[in-house]
């Protein structure tokens, strides 16, 4: 039994529908077998459990572990290639690198770097775009299991429009996915995600095979890309005969539902938003990627107005790093740049988008996303070095919301001093350096 003592901030209630920041200046979180069994004022919890080992985290701020709903494992080595729009960046930068994961030793090295990147950023749960090569996906799941992260991931499938080594066909897409799911789905903290790259590169046959996997692997998740860039949207419309909108290319195969997360959706029609909202599907908002590729300004207000669930994704490697603090800040920037069309975001919104909203999008709301009793102890301890600007900012913050604003503005990997998943403390670079 462990009793964590900390300043705890979390967002159990959705601020987009009136929820407020939950802030406990001196909280006690009692953790038994990885689960928070009690939360309250430290002194009161301590009095009830005088024998519990106390871990004193008061020199920082404890937040729920961050949840990244869209991040590409094979792209960790290509972060930072600026100056290209989506299709050119894929062709010149991302896809040549993804071809290298055909070599499983190369893939293992990339998996090590990728998983290390997530942990260092304080991400405890992620929906990960895998590789086009099944052995490379095994390498990812092996590394995730070794480290202890909570990851949903799968084989990326495509049968057109990409370099030949990345292509498969519908039968192989089904067989490889089912075999991978048999090895990993529900094993430890891993789950399987059915992952056509985007309907630009996946024909109706492959999307049908994806629907069959989703049906045959109960509890599996679905993820892909949608409406990211105008040239991509135009090509998808052409490929599908002009009769279908982009969301419809997935929806007509039954791939849009509560267990679907579609990344980007920068250029949706109202009709598409109505489908996404009606089906309870989620959108992964990836602001730094949208800026880096010049994809556009995310219409968050229209998503909220259509009841579409939204969470944050880093979209590494088009995204500019693993930190969801940076993505939160960028999301805030985007909404402020949209002027009257934007949805002004508070620090509480940002924390919710980076934690609880992600947990809900991944169907893990009963387990993670906040630090209330009954949840798994998945947490990130933000503790800047002394006199670092964030340390100064936290000392001078006027309120909890203000402290949170400082974390999203100034926080990054170097401030992540501790990461726990289900009560297990993961090794973070800062601590082991």
- Residue ranges binding ligand GUN (CB under 6 A): 72, 86, 90, 94, 197-198, 225, 228, 289, 315, 318
CB of 253 to ligand GUN, least distance (A): 18
Nearer to ligand GUN, 91 or 424 (CB): 91
- Burial (CB < 10 A; 0-12, 13-18, 19+), residue 51, is exposed
Contact 337, 298 (CB under 8 A): no
Instruction: Report if residue 315 touches Zn ion, rule: CB under 5 A.
Output: yes
Residues 6+ apart with CB under 8 A from 296: 229, 230, 266, 267, 290
417 binds, among ligand GUN, Zn ion, none (CB under 5 to 8 A by kind): none
Q: What is the CA radius of gyration of the chain?
A: 21
Nearer to ligand GUN, 228 or 251 (CB): 228
Contact 329, 302 (CB under 8 A): no
CB of 315 to ligand GUN, least distance (A): 5
For the window 260-279, what string marks contact with Zn ion as x by the rule CB under 5 A?
---x----------------
86 binds, among ligand GUN, Zn ion, none (CB under 5 to 8 A by kind): ligand GUN
| Interacting positions 348-367 with Zn ion (CB under 5 A) | none
**Angle at 422 (CA atoms; ends 416, 426), nearest 5 degrees:** 40
CB of 231 to ligand GUN, least distance (A): 12
Nearer to ligand GUN, 94 or 190 (CB): 94
Nearer to ligand GUN, 27 or 334 (CB): 334
* Peptide bond just before 401 cis, omega within 30 deg: no
Contact 194, 222 (CB under 8 A): yes
* Span of 240-248, 252-260, 309-317, 381-389 interacting with Zn ion by CB under 5 A: 309-317
CB of 74 to ligand GUN, least distance (A): 9
Contact 376, 35 (CB under 8 A): yes
Q: How many other CB atoms are there within 10 angstroms of residue 164's CB atom?
A: 6
Nearer to ligand GUN, 198 or 377 (CB): 198
Contact 139, 108 (CB under 8 A): yes
What DSSP assignment string belongs to 159-217?
Answer: SSSS-GGG---HHHHHHHHHHHHHHHTTSTT-EEEEEES-TTS--HHHHHHHHHHHHHS
CB of 357 to Zn ion, least distance (A): 18
CB of 288 to ligand GUN, least distance (A): 11
197 binds, among ligand GUN, Zn ion, none (CB under 5 to 8 A by kind): ligand GUN
Nearer to ligand GUN, 150 or 225 (CB): 225
CB of 277 to ligand GUN, least distance (A): 23
* Tokens 């403390």 sit on residue: 425
Residue closest to 175 by CA, chosen among 193, 203, 155? 155
| Interacting positions 206-235 with Zn ion (CB under 5 A) | none
Nearer to ligand GUN, 225 or 352 (CB): 225
Residue 280 parent element (H or E):
none
* Span of 258-266, 334-342, 363-371, 396-404 interacting with Zn ion by CB under 5 A: 258-266
CA distance 133 to 139: 10
What DSSP assignment string belongs to 96-152?
Answer: HHHHGGGSHHHHHHHHHHHHHHHHHTTEEEEEEE--SSHHHHHHHHHHHHHHT-EEE
Nearer to ligand GUN, 60 or 313 (CB): 313
CB of 225 to Zn ion, least distance (A): 6
CB of 73 to Zn ion, least distance (A): 11
Nearer to ligand GUN, 52 or 156 (CB): 156
275 binds, among ligand GUN, Zn ion, none (CB under 5 to 8 A by kind): none
Instruction: Report if residue 370 touches Zn ion, rule: CB under 5 A.
Output: no
Q: Which residues bind Zn ion (CB under 5 A)?
A: 263, 315
């Amino acid at each position: 039994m462990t009793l964590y003592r900390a300043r705890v901030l979390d967002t159990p209630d959705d601020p987009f529908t009136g929820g407020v920041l939950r802030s406990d200046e001196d909280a006690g979180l009692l953790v038994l077998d990885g689960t928070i069994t009690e939360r309250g004022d430290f002194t009161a919890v301590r009095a009830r459990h005088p024998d519990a080992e106390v871990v004193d985290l008061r020199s920082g701020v404890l937040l729920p572990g961050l949840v990244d709903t869209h991040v590409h494992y094979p792209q960790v080595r290509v972060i930072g290639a600026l100056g290209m729009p989506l299709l050119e960046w894929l062709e010149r930068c991302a896809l040549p690198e993804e071809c290298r994961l055909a070599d499983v030793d190369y893939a293992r090295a990339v998996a090590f770097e990728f998983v290390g990147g997530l942990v260092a950023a304080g991400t405890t749960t992620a929906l990960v775009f895998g590789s086009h090569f099944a052995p490379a996906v095994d390498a990812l799941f092996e590394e995730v299991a070794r480290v202890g992260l909570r990851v949903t991931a799968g084989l990326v499938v495509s049968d057109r429009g990409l370099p030949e080594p990345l292509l498969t066909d519908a039968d192989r897409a089904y067989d490889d996915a089912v075999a991978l799911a048999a090895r990993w789905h529900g094993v430890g903290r891993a789950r399987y995600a059915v992952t056509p790259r985007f309907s630009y590169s996946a024909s109706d046959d492959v999307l049908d095979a994806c629907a069959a996997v989703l049906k045959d692997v109960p509890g599996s998740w679905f993820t892909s890309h949608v409406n990211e860039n105008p040239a991509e949207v135009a090509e998808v419309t052409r490929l599908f005969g002009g009769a279908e909108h982009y969301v419809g290319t997935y929806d007509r195969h039954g791939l849009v539902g509560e267990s679907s997360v579609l990344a980007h959706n920068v250029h949706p029609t109202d009709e598409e938003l109505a489908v996404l909202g009606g089906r309870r599907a989620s959108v992964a908002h990836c602001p730094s990627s949208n800026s880096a590729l010049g994809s556009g300004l995310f219409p968050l207000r229209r998503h909220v107005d259509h009841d579409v669930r939204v969470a944050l994704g880093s979209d590494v490697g088009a995204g500019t790093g693993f930190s969801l603090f940076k993505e939160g800040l960028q999301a805030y920037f985007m909404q402020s740049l949209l002027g009257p069309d934007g949805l002004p975001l508070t620090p509480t919104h940002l924390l919710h988008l980076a934690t609880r909203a992600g947990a809900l999008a991944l169907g893990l709301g009963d387990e993670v996303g906040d630090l209330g009793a009954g949840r798994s102890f998945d947490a990130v301890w933000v503790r800047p070095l002394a006199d670092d600007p964030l340390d100064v900012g936290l000392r001078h913050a006027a309120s909890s919301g203000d402290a949170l604003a400082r974390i999203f503005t100034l926080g990054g990997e170097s401030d992540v001093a501790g990461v726990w998943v289900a009560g297990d403390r993961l090794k973070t670079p800062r601590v082991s350096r």
